[in-house]
Amino acid sequence: MSEENTANKDKEIKEENNVQQQEETQESKETQPNITINKVEKIMKSWVPKTELGKKVYRREITSIEEVFEKGYIIREPEIVDILLPDLEDEIILIGGTPGKGGGIKRIPVKTTARMHKSGRKRSLHAMVVVGNKNGYVGYGYAKGNDAREAIEKASRKARLNIISIRRGCGSWECNCHQPHSLPFKVTGKSGSVKVELIPGPRGLGIVASSEPKKVLRLAGIQDVWLRSFGNTRTRINFIYALFDALNNLNKIRANEAVIKETGVIEGLSK
């Protein structure tokens, strides 16, 4: 074996070690607890806010989502929500479906629609994304794109702009713990033929709902609740709309002092 060969081999080993080291540093970065701070820093570096609210959030003149809601601002830039709620999570709602083997329907993330165009059949894809911080804030977005990725990205941005704060509490007579693990009272919502009813549940019950609405309730931070639905719930989009209608109605119901005290109602974040 020539000297050159040995040298090359040494170099190779060295390079391999380097790669390994790089991977290790990347990994340790990912496991850092301040990952949400990194996310905010990243947005702050690349984002050029356009709206009045965006500029105020960017300059740190507004530092909480509660303030945005209290002052009645309309959120037009998704970055605002990412900065004020850094632990926001995304979930894709499976709205598409093809009849699967054995008669069941296989759910897929995107819904395909085709319409006639002068150049032939034109296909577009629709996606629905729900975002939430698992602590009183949740939103949905529905969008169209030329491919699945585009539709999902657009829906994810829209979901941030649509974020709402929800009321939580303990309206379960079996539980009566005054903690915000459930809802303060029973509430209903409607969209098209679908009606949804949310019923407060006792601590430890969990979310009693099918997979797609369960994603919404989990991201909202509602831990114990029963969901009852009526109508054609196979149209997932209406099902999710009806659920959001119910969550919105939670805020509309006038709660008197006694109910607030009894159920421990909170609006939005629990401290």
Q: Which residues bind Zn ion (CB under 5 A)?
A: 170, 175, 177, 203
Considering beta carbons, is residue 161 or 205 the nearer one to Zn ion?
A: 205
d(CA 203, CA 181): 7
Tell me 209's DSSP state.
Answer: S
* Tokens describing residue 60: 């740190």
Considering beta carbons, is residue 59 or 173 the nearer one to Zn ion?
A: 173
Strands (DSSP E) along the chain, which ranges?
89-93, 96-99, 105-108, 110-117, 120-132, 137-145, 164-165, 167-168, 187-191, 194-200, 207-208, 225-230, 266-267
Considering beta carbons, is residue 78 or 180 the nearer one to Zn ion?
A: 180
Considering beta carbons, is residue 144 or 203 the nearer one to Zn ion?
A: 203
Q: Which of 85, 112, 84, 81 is nearest to 96 (CA)?
A: 112
Cβ at position 132, least distance to Zn ion in Å:
21
d(CA 226, CA 235): 20
SS3 for 253?
coil
Cβ at position 182, least distance to Zn ion in Å:
6
* Number of neighbours of residue 157 by Cβ within 10 angstroms: 18
* Tokens describing residue 133: 């911080």
Considering beta carbons, is residue 155 or 175 the nearer one to Zn ion?
A: 175
Considering beta carbons, is residue 125 or 266 the nearer one to Zn ion?
A: 266
Pairing of strands 137-145, 164-165: antiparallel
